[in-house]
Amino acid sequence: MKFNSNGLFISFEGPEASGKSTQIKLLAYFLKKNKIPFLITREPGGTKIAEKLRRIILDKKANITATEEILLLMSARMNHINNIIKPALKEGKIVISDRFADSTFVYQGHVNKYGMKKTIDLHRILLNNFLPIKTFLFILPVNQIIKRLKKRNVTNKYDKIDTSFHKNVINGYMKLSKNKRRFIFIDALNSTNEINDKIVKSINNLILK
Ligand code: TMP
């Protein structure tokens, strides 16, 4: 397989329990099998400092305002971009991040009402508008999210079993992705194999471009 050596930055986004992590594992399996260099990372997190900030950001008991939370997220992100993402891209790797800036636009900008446009503007100013080339956006009906979460251990402050919260998350992603070619929509109700096929096809198209 011919490999474009410039590196590609890809993110996975969507509401809780939409199956992103399973699909990232399957994609990693495919890349490994085909000897395509890659790096899997996540947000908030990806570096030592950013993982420490993740604990604070997702702490149910942390007493922080929406603005303070955004600043923590963005400093974690800058540390992640500079120390992990950019160096790996330079080495020609496919960098796959489980969530990235779109999560901030949706969760803090839209759901927590900081303002989506204001959050996007901050990203542009502070992080030079560094964004993935493609984003797989997983969409799942709210009742399915609740059903899946009930089977899981609810661990962080955004894992809540609350219909209106998850509706708001989905609406935020819909608003954000409207008319933007960066997003590839994934129907999370499809089977694991069907979703994997779609993702692998898209990645192949990107690599062979
Ligand atoms: P996850 O690792 O299970 O996807 O959980 C991370 C949680 O953090 C998820 O509920 C979404 C939330 N989050 C934000 O609120 N803002 C962000 O910028 C990011 C990256 C995640």
Q: Is residue 79 scored above 80 in pLDDT? A: yes
- Closest atom of ligand 1 to CA, residue 54: 8
* 3: in domain: no
Residue 185: how many other CB atoms lie within 10 Å: 15
pLDDT digits (tens, 9 = 90+) for 127-138: 999 999 999 999
* 2: in domain: no
* 1: in domain: no
Domain with 128 in it: 8-207
Nearest-CA residue for atom 4 of ligand 1: 16
* 200: in domain: yes
CATH number for the domain harbouring residue 179: 3.40.50.300
Q: Please give the biggest Cα pair distance in the chain.
A: 50
* 27: in domain: yes
Is there an atom of ligand 1 within 6 Å of 38 CB? no
CB 92 within 8 A of CB 6: yes
pLDDT digits (tens, 9 = 90+) for 133-178: 999 999 999 999 999 998 887 778 887 778 999 999 999 999 999 9
Domain count, the chain: 1
Amino acid 5: pLDDT: 60
Beta strands in 61-150 (DSSP E): 94-98, 134-139
Going by their DSSP bridges, the two strands 134-139 and 8-13 should be labelled as parallel
Q: Which among 120, 39, 129, 27 is positioned nearest to 83, based on CA atoms?
A: 39
Amino acid 157: pLDDT: 80
* 76: in domain: yes
